[in-house]
Copies of this chain bind each other. A is one copy, B any other.
């Protein structure tokens, strides 16, 4: 039996994992899905990356969770890296699910293709609270390319604007890269959010930065927690076992 802590990506909150959590628990595991500070509906969006990280550290320490398999999805790859620095003694293994693995000193924005940088810069600038909402067309065609339109719409309704500052903050990751914690990279083979290929893709560009890691793959999009939550839960178990 493992203790999973699942950390959501941009525009999401912890409720995105509900079906995955249910399946992990049905299989006898413990699973937690906190919401990052500044994320979710009806909350203050004025947060930076350090505050996001601290909110997950507080959650783990507050519940006194230990021997954790800590998973970060997408943006949360940057969160779990910094959380690991803070509470490394509580973490048994890290799982990066189509997640950003930043080089030391980079921001998430630094690792995006220029057309995405321009799009999200513009959306944040036009907002009144330095957030940006994902256009539905991108959600449907690129993030959730493996779902039908009905699921694309119902899941889009669960999203909320993403604070932009955590994408801009440059992260000191020297300690993260020195920690010997086992790592897995779980890659969904139809994920085209970062354009597939050597220059921009999730895998192997992001994954190879981890050094020694366990590669696990599954069919599916960037948003398999919606399009295939049971398949995802099964692969999380495979990625997270010793």
Interface set of A (CB-CB < 8 Å, partner B): 137-138, 141-142, 145-146, 148-149, 182, 189-190, 192, 195-198, 201, 203-205, 207-208, 212-217, 219, 238, 241-242
Are A141 and B182 in contact, with the CB atoms below 8 A? yes
Instruction: List chain B residues, Cβ under 8 A from A149.
Output: 241-242
Are B138 and A212 in contact, with the CB atoms below 8 A? yes
Are A196 and B204 in contact, with the CB atoms below 8 A? yes
Are A142 and B212 in contact, with the CB atoms below 8 A? yes
Are A241 and B142 in contact, with the CB atoms below 8 A? no
Can you spell out 10 A-B residue pairs with CB atoms less than 8 angstroms apart? Answer: A137-B212, A141-B182, A141-B213, A141-B214, A142-B214, A145-B216, A149-B242, A195-B208, A196-B208, A197-B205
Instruction: List chain B residues, Cβ under 8 A from A145.
Output: 214-216
Instruction: List chain B residues, Cβ under 8 A from A189.
Output: 217
In the complex, residue of chain B having the shortest beta-carbon distance to the beta carbon of A138: B212
A196 touches which of B146, B203, B219, B238 (Cβ 8 Å): B203
Instruction: List chain B residues, Cβ under 8 A from A195.
Output: 204, 208
Point out which of A189, A192, A219, A238 has the most chain B C-beta atoms below 10 A from its C-beta. Answer: A192
Say whether, besides A141-B182, A242-B149, A190 and B212 are in contact (CB < 8 Å).
no
Are B196 and A215 in contact, with the CB atoms below 8 A? yes
Are A215 and B241 in contact, with the CB atoms below 8 A? no
In the complex, residue of chain B having the shortest beta-carbon distance to the beta carbon of A198: B198
CA distance A219 to B225 in the complex (A): 21
